[in-house]
């Protein structure tokens, strides 16, 4: 059976996921078979496996770092919030149902056998399992029946590294308080402490590190610097959602064509060529769909959550959401719906992904209360009306990996026609184009779920507006580049630079950079001793 090591944190977003990913890559580099594991994850960013099962993206990232195929055994329980106190509970990749926080707390012990079985499946084939905790192990109101922090450490017999986030302040209090709030029988599981996201001169920390070790009786294994690594984040705490993405500084250039209006101001270096506004919906899901766009030199990608932030984008994207109806009503109340319709009327491209695609249609119906059963939302809602599409929500969730080609790109983006796409669908609904509307399906797809496959049409295109159910659509081939290139050409300009590495090569390089930095700043000899000695 595999040896286990666990990464816990003093709080959410302390860096557990990335440290776990780094360890997965380091152990793989050192010749071991590695698998990531998180018994319970809460996130709206999810992924569909080849078997058509749903899991959290953090464990997908860690599996990629480990060089193994993502499996739901790596994340047997996934919670997807649908409101402030209700979540969809997914067990072994299948939807169990929607439960309130109190209902789930009462039932979660019954899920321990599923956690055990998933862990054992991984342990049969791996040399090392890197386990990630959730939130903090010192949430004293949640410690009873814990299945993801110390409860999981006990189940796996895993020694624990405890990480604190110095960037948010109070890291010594974080680490000391967490250790002291643990029960006497839990503290021995903590074998080492990590200071994460440090900026500055490490020598200044030395007196504090020694005092912390004296107070807690736990050695500090490392001080990991604040890393500029481009690896997909998982949840709404991501810094990507609070500002502008894209390489708007450095080796960017705009080129004025020879026949340009002589009064046109000369474009200078360090300016963006393409501006993309992604609407930051309250229940935004799978925002990693747009990571590849933000990596293109010349692209400025913003997450927009209010009318004040909405600029003059070349492209507007309505992303996926866990609660389409609620977020559509928010969009209407916030005033952003008016700006999106205005952008479309001006001939700007508007793209909807999954729930965003559903919003762009004429109507959304929910006769079974799939989405609107909680919170008293209306079962029939008017859509934004930019696509002649009607959507009906269905109880059964569509979960499948897909590949195919674009049939009808948005007007002005003809270079995308026939381009290969691939990704995955996660949605509870079916959208139908109105007969006689003149609109065209966006793509033709080959859907593969387990041993079953079929051909189907997807999405809708009408003028400069299009929508699709496919997540990850911009990751395949050079679709993101072609989209940006077409947007630039509409201005009579051209992109002058292109990424040299493929997406896969770029991703692998980022994992290697992450591993190199963590290896340099973490006492790996002590980590390996942890593995050998256990608890």
Catalytic positions are 354, 471
For 382, how many CA atoms within 13 A lie in the half-sphere containing its CB?
Answer: 4
- Work out the angle at residue 445's Cα, subtended by the Cα atoms of residues 443 and 451, and round it to the nearest 5 degrees: 170
DSSP state of 51: T
Q: What gap in Å lies between CA 33 and CA 321, rounded to an integer?
A: 35
CA distance from start to end of the chain? 16
Q: What gap in Å lies between CA 259 and CA 254, rounded to an integer?
A: 15
Are 23 and 524 in contact by the 8 Å Cβ rule? The answer is: no
Are 289 and 278 in contact by the 8 Å Cβ rule? The answer is: no
Q: What gap in Å lies between CA 283 and CA 290, rounded to an integer?
A: 16
Q: What gap in Å lies between CA 485 and CA 276, rounded to an integer?
A: 13
**416 phi, psi to nearest 5 deg:** -85, -15
Closest CA to 356 of 427, 296, 302, 308: 427
Q: What gap in Å lies between CA 193 and CA 150, rounded to an integer?
A: 15
CA 482 to chain centre: 23
Number of neighbours of residue 483 by Cβ within 10 angstroms: 28
């Amino acid at each position: 059976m595999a040896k286990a090591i666990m990464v816990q944190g003093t709080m959410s977003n302390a860096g557990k996921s990335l440290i776990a990913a780094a360890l997965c890559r380091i152990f793989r580099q050192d010749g071991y078979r590695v698998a990531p594991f998180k018994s319970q994850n809460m996130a709206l960013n999810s992924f569909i496996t080849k078997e058509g099962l749903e899991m959290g993206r953090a464990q997908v990232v860690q599996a990629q770092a480990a060089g193994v195929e993502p499996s739901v055994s790596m994340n047997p329980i996934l919670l997807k919030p649908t409101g402030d106190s209700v979540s969809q509970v997914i067990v072994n990749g299948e939807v169990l149902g929607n439960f309130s926080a109190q209902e789930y707390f009462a039932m979660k012990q019954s899920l321990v056998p599923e956690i055990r079985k998933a862990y054992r499946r991984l342990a049969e084939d791996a040399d090392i399992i890197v386990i990630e905790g959730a939130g903090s192990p010192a949430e004293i109101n949640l410690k009873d029946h814990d299945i993801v922090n110390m409860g999981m450490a006990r189940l796996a017999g895993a020694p624990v590294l405890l990480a604190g986030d110095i960037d948010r302040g109070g890291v010594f209090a974080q680490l000391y308080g967490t250790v002291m709030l643990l029960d006497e029988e839990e503290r021995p599981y903590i074998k080492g402490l990590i200071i994460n996201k440090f900026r500055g001169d490490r020598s200044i920390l030395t007196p504090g590190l020694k005092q912390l070790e004296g107070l807690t009786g736990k050695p500090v294994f490392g001080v990991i610097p604040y890393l500029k690594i481009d690896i997909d984040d998982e949840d709404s705490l991501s810094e990507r959602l609070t500002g502008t993405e894209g390489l708007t500084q450095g080796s960017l250039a705009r080129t004025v064509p020879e026949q340009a209006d002589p009064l046109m101001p000369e474009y200078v270096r360090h300016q963006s060529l393409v501006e993309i506004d992604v609407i930051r919906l309250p229940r935004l899901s799978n925002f990693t769909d747009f990571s590849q766009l933000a990596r293109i030199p010349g692209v400025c990608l913003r997450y927009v959550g209010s009318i004040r932030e909405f600029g003059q984008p070349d492209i507007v994207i309505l992303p996926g959401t866990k609660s389409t109806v609620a977020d559509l009503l928010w969009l209407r109340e916030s005033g952003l719906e008016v700006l999106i319709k205005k952008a479309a009327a001006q001939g700007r491209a508007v793209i909807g992904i999954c729930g965003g695609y559903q919003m762009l249609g004429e109507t959304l119906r929910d006769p079974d209360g799939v989405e609107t059963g909680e919170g008293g939302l209306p079962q029939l809602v008017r859509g934004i009306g930019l696509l002649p599409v009607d959507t009906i929500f269905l109880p059964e969730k569509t979960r499948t990996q897909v590949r195919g080609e674009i049939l009808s790109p948005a007007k002005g983006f003809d270079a995308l026609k026939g381009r290969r796409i691939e990704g995955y669908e996660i949605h509870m609904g079916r959208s139908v184009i109105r007969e006689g509307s003149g609109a065209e399906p966006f793509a033709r797809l080959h859907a593969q779920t387990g041993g079953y496959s079929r051909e189907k049409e997807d999405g809708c295109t009408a003028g400069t507006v299009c929508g699709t159910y496919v997540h990850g659509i911009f990751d395949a081939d050079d679709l993101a580049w072609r989209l940006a290139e077409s947007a630039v050409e509409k201005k009579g300009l051209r992109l002058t630079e292109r990424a040299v590495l493929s997406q896969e090569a770029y991703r692998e390089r980022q994992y290697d950079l992450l591993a190199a930095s963590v290896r340099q700043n973490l006492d790996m000899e002590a980590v390996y001793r942890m593995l050998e000695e256990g608890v």
